[in-house]
């Protein structure tokens, strides 16, 4: 039975530990020698496509890229038939999808014979969360993810896919997570990658950015207008205007607080130039760790001692 990487919530702690360790392994290996990974993107991507492609190549494999137009998941052809076709030729299929439920359809269709990797869905962005944890641990605990217990991380903005996977990943490591969003943009209960289902760490919901950043070690934000919500752009800019991560807000934080953003950034909306380009910003280390994260996920998927 193949391993899947669909949410952080789904994984056992020892599997997450293997992923974090494998992400930073200095050893060259040929885990994917001669093997293909199908990459399907229903939405645009720079970092995820680049990090997936380069990590597969680093491990000796090759990728085939399929755009939304070429595949037409559940439009040109059913997700079931796409999955069964790809499983004849690929060991791994990594997808960025509109609807998280596609993963379950593809898993069932292939009887778990092809590994699936979630490269962002409407409810989760778990490869980003692995990169975020690696970035935070590198800065605060010399890379030891097991020492992040008690760290205070505040997410400010639209609490969607990135916020959900980030929260789950950090809660599972015992961190204190505050999610600060206006009414209508706060974390939703249920669905894939549910922060409310995690028993460890602590989760606080807030609607005050000033309160949220006051004791934070890390402040994190993401787009106000996620992919697929473009029609709501004007309303979202108004609703989220007072949740911008700017210099004035960061003055309320303590010295040493760092800022993260998954990118792409919308400078002047959720974050200002002064903050994203400032000394507290770790965004380029986050980008670097997107590739580390993919190495960890791919090595874990192919690890031989499936138990
Ligand atoms: N952060 C992230 O997933 O970036 P892309 O959308 O460019 O892949
Ligand atoms: N929340 C954003 C993340 C982009 C990486 C989106 O879904 O568009």
Answer yes or no: do 118 and 195 share one domain.
no
Among 42, 45, 127, name the best residue to mutate to test ligand 1's pocket (greatest count of ligand atoms within 8 A of Cβ): 45
C-alpha 61/C-alpha 39 separation (Å) is 13
Same domain, 89 and 146: no
pLDDT at position 25 is 84
Mutation test of ligand 2: which of 49, 227, 290 has the most ligand atoms closer than 8 Å to its C-beta?
227
Distance from C-alpha of 218 to C-alpha of 187, rounded to nearest angstrom: 18
Residues 151 and 242 in one domain: yes
Residue 115 lies in a domain: yes
C-alpha span between 23 and 234 (Å, rounded): 39
Pairing of strands 62-67, 36-41: parallel
Q: Is 270 exposed, middle or buried (0-12, 13-18, 19+ CB in 10 A)?
A: buried
- Closest ligand to 263 CA? 1
Please, are residues 192 and 124 in contact by the beta-carbon 8 Å criterion? Answer: yes
Q: What is the pLDDT of residues 166-224, one digit of tens each?
A: 999 999 999 999 999 999 999 999 999 999 999 999 999 999 999 999 999 999 999 99
The reply to whether 63 and 88 lie within a common domain is: yes
Mean pLDDT of the chain: 96
Split into its structural domains, the chain has a count of: 2
Instruction: Based on the fold, state whether residues 217 and 175 are members of the same structural domain.
Output: yes
Are residue 239 and residue 151 in the same domain, yes or no?
yes
Q: What is the CB neighbour count within 10 angstroms for residue 44?
A: 12
pLDDT at 5 over 90: yes
- Report whether pLDDT(249) > 80: yes
Indicate which CATH number applies to the domain containing 97. 3.40.50.1370
Residue ranges around ligand 2 (CB below 6 Å): 120, 160-162, 222-223, 226-227, 262
Task: Calculate the alpha carbon distances from 260 to 18, 68, 212 in Å.
Answer: 24, 29, 15
Domain residues for the domain of 71 are: 13-124+290-301
- Asked, for residue 246, whether it belongs to a domain, the answer is yes
> Same domain for 47 and 139?
no
Q: Indicate whether 45 belongs to any domain.
A: yes
Residue 266: C-alpha distances to residues 13, 52, 162, 223, 245 (Å): 34, 23, 15, 7, 11
Question: Is the pLDDT reported for residue 307 higher than 90?
Answer: no
pLDDT digits (tens, 9 = 90+) for 48-98: 999 999 999 999 999 999 999 999 999 999 999 999 999 999 999 999 999
């Amino acid at each position: 039975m193949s391993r899947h990487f669909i949410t952080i919530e789904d994984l056992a702690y020892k599997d997450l530990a293997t992923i974090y360790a494998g992400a930073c392994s200095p050893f060259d290996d040929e885990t994917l020698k001669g093997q293909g990974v199908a990459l399907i993107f229903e939405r645009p991507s720079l970092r995820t496509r680049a990090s997936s492609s380069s990590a597969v190549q680093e491990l000796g494999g090759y990728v085939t890229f399929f755009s939304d137009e070429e595949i037409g998941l559940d439009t040109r052809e059913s997700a079931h038939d796409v999955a069964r076709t790809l499983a004849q030729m690929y060991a791994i299929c990594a997808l960025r999808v509109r609807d998280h439920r596609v993963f379950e359809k593809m898993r069932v269709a292939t009887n778990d014979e092809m590994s699936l990797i979630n490269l962002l869905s409407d409810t989760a962005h778990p490869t980003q969360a692995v990169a975020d944890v690696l970035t935070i641990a590198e800065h605060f605990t010399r890379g030891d993810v097991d020492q992040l217990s008690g760290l205070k991380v505040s997410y400010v903005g639209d609490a969607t896919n990135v916020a959900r996977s980030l929260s789950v990943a950090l809660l599972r490591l015992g961190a204190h997570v505050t999610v600060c969003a206006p009414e209508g943009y706060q974390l939703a209960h249920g669905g894939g990658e549910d922060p409310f289902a995690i028993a460890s760490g602590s989760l606080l919901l807030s609607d005050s950015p000033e309160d949220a950043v006051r004791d934070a070690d890390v402040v994190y934000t993401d787009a106000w207008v996620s992919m697929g919500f473009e029609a709501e752009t004007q309303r979202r800019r108004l609703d989220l205007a007072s949740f911008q991560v700017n210099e004035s807000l960061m003055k309320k934080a303590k010295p040493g607080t760092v800022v993260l953003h998954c990118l792409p950034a919308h400078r002047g909306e959720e974050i200002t130039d002064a903050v994203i380009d400032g000394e507290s910003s770790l965004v380029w280390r986050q980008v670097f760790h997107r590739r580390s994260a993919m190495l960890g996920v791919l090595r874990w998927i192919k690890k031989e001692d499936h138990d």
